[in-house]
Amino acid sequence: MKTKIAFYRKKLNITQEELAELVGVTRQTILVLEQGKYNPSLLLAHKITRALKQRKIEDVFKI
Amino acid sequence: MKNRQEKNRKKNLILRYSLATLLIISGIVLSYLKLGNEFLGFSSVGLWLIYVGFVMLAVISLQILSKKKRIVDERMEFIAAKASRITFMGIIIFAFIIMVIDGIKPIDFAYSYFMSYFICGIVLLYAISYKILLRSN
């Protein structure tokens, strides 16, 4: 799954560690999500979208 | 959400403490009644239960005292489930191999040793598969 996590994260000027803390996961999970190696649950996708200050999940995650 | 997690954590702690206490009490009872001496190669079941109970108590107390907060996210749970499946498959394959070897040449091995090695093997297989999956997934 392609994601725009890294793009929005850099736009907000936050590190992977900070984003991980915001959504309650480990830094490694953010790393694999950014690489598109792991498909998150709907709940985690929602949390990440909110943390990145986006409205739609589709804006951050693309199938 | 956090409140629920805290409640679950407390419930889990109470359960673990109760289990450790139960082990110690059953160990004391078995030792007092002199039951389970010379059981399947173990010198005394009661003493072993007391020992395991105390180790369990020490581990739980250390976990409470350590301030480091452990994060267990959904990816780790997913990988743990995958590692469990691999371990289960490993057990089945191992049991099949043992059956075949026993058919060719009967295995004469103390049950206590076999169980000790078997449990160590399961733990090792789980730990290795978990670590590998954590890196590759």
Q: What residue ranges define each of the domains in chain A, with the CATH number in brackets?
A: 2-54 (1.10.260.40)
**CA geometry: angle at B89 spanning B102 and B115, to 5°?**
50
* Distance of residue A37 Cα from the nearest chain B Cα, in angstroms: 7
A1–chain B Cβ distance below 8 A for any pair: no
Considering chain A, what is the average pLDDT of its residues? 90
| B126 class by beta-carbon count within 10 Å (0-12 exposed, 13-18 middle, 19+ buried) | middle
**Do residues B73 and A29 touch, judged by C-beta distance below 8 A?**
yes
pTM above threshold 0.80: no
pLDDT number for residue B1: 58
For A48, residues 6+ apart whose C-beta sits below 8 A from its C-beta are A5, A19, A23, A33, A40, A60
Q: Identify from B4, B72, B74 which residue to disrupt to test chain A contact, counting A C-beta atoms within 10 A and taking the largest count.
A: B74
Local confidence pLDDT in tens for the 137 residues of chain B: 567 777 887 888 889 999 999 999 998 888 888 776 766 666 677 888 898 999 999 988 888 887 667 777 889 999 999 999 999 999 999 999 999 999 998 888 888 788 889 999 999 999 999 999 988 77
What is the ipTM score, two decimals?
0.80
A29–chain B Cβ distance below 8 A for any pair: yes
A26 chain-B contacts, CB cut-off 8 A: 71, 73, 75-76
**Do residues A33 and A5 touch, judged by C-beta distance below 8 A?**
yes
pLDDT number for residue B10: 83
